[in-house]
Amino acid sequence: MPFTNPSTVGNVFVVGRLPTVTYNPRENLGLESQLQEYLEDRGALLSVSGPTKTGKTTLLRSAAASGVWLSGGAVSSRDEFWRTVGEGLYADSSTAAGKSIGLIRQDLVDSDRCLVVDDFHYIDQGIQLEIVRSLKDLVFEGLPVVVASVPHRAYDAVRVEKEMTGRVAHLSISPWDDEELISIARKGFSALNLVDDDSGLAQRLSKESFSSPHLMQQFCKRLCRENGISKTLSEPSVLIAPDSWVDFFSQSAADTSKAAFDLLAQGPRRRTDRMQRQLTDGRTVDIYGAVLEAIANTGPTLAIEYDQLRVSLREVLKDEVPQRHEVTRVLDQMTKIAKEDIEGEPVVDYDESLSTLHVSDPYFAFYLRWGQPGRVLPGQE
């Protein structure tokens, strides 16, 4: 059952579940109406794309709550895909075990329920092809199918099956802008009877949220608790900024992506014979550490072209910059580690064809910016 008491800080500022008090439907973008139009029109597969933790799942849950849902992260074969669909389709999941794939397919069409595949990009591309081919005729018959992905994988359905060209509709969920993030703080602070003069604190929090409402919710909750606020106050009270924003964000970063960072910094295997390279701040790291420093030095920017990364390497390294093939090998290895060894959304994804590194997880980007003790990036003071 959902929480029904919005008076506590934990129920106002919500991370990891559907918010109520601070929910922002982003009505100016018309996302919910566009989804509803698709569910009414049908005849195409709908690809919903947006950066990680920017509300894709929340939006889909609000528009297709009664659909048959499954996560791409749980799919390793075409047959497993359809068994999982069956488990979501029938009230008794054991019923799926006794059904052939053909029957499950027909029952899905007859149910008139939307099929939603969250995190479609988690599925291996070879398996994606088999799944899309098995859905193609059902889509043509009018089955509503929605796949959700990160932006740089939004067209996977077309890439793996050329015959879907013209049969894939696309709904792009843009990153949250500062005003949309600030609205979360305004709604929540108002519900708790807290005053943020001129939204100054909300603006500071939004600046470090990497367009993620999840991070904004987390920051707001932490700020309230650092002010000693646990529930709605009987009288208005002015929120006070932390004594140190550096400490505030650094302590917040400790709860995010350290494990992912450590795995990427370690590389494919722990080695002691890698060349050590001196950074401009005096620290010494191997090539994996140097690349991570260069990524952080970009802001980090969430999409970093190779030439931009190379410039950043020159800025963070006192020594000579590694050769291109050395850097791209590291990026490829980091992508492999992110996909195979780190749970959840791959935190980095290098697209060799576009020579672009995507920092896919805002929590990881936030850790790169704030999680390294002793390192100060521009704008952190």
Round the average pLDDT of the chain to a whole number and report it: 88
Average pLDDT over residues 333-356: 90
Residues 230 and 263 in one domain: no
Single out the residue in 241, 272, 297 at which a domain terminates. 241
Overall domain count for the chain: 3
* CATH number (domain holding residue 164): 3.40.50.300
248 occurs within a structural domain: no
Gap between the Cα atoms of 127 and 46, Å rounded: 18
Residue 284: enclosing H or E segment and its boundaries? strand 284-285
The percent of residues above 90 in pLDDT, for the chain, comes to: 54
Sequence-separated (6 or more) residues with CB below 8 Å from residue 342: 259, 260, 263
Could you tell me if residue 253 is inside a domain?
no
Is the same domain home to 50 and 87?
yes
This prediction's pTM: 0.79
Please tell me whether residues 106 and 121 are part of one structural domain: yes
Vertex 356: Cα angle to 351 and 358 (nearest 5)? 80
pLDDT band at 3 (very low <50, low <70, confident <90, very high): very low
63/166 same-domain check: yes
If asked whether residues 181 and 59 sit together in one domain, one would say no
200-214, 252-266, 282-296, range with the lowest pLDDT: 252-266
Residues 164 and 230 in one domain: no
Tokens of 52: 């990680």
d(CA 118, CA 88) in angstroms, rounded, equals: 13
The DSSP bridge pattern shows strands 303-305 and 356-359 to be: antiparallel
**What is residue 306's DSSP assignment?**
H
In a domain, residue 378? The reply is: no
**30-75 residue pLDDT tens:** 888 898 898 888 888 898 988 877 778 888 887 888 899 998 888 9
Rounded to whole angstroms, the Cα distance separating 260 from 324 reads 24
* Domain, as residue range, for 162: 27-172
197 is a domain residue: yes
3-state secondary structure of 359: strand
Give one word for 346, left, alpha or beta, with left for phi > 0 and alpha for psi -120 to 50: beta
My answer on whether 85 and 190 are in the same domain is no
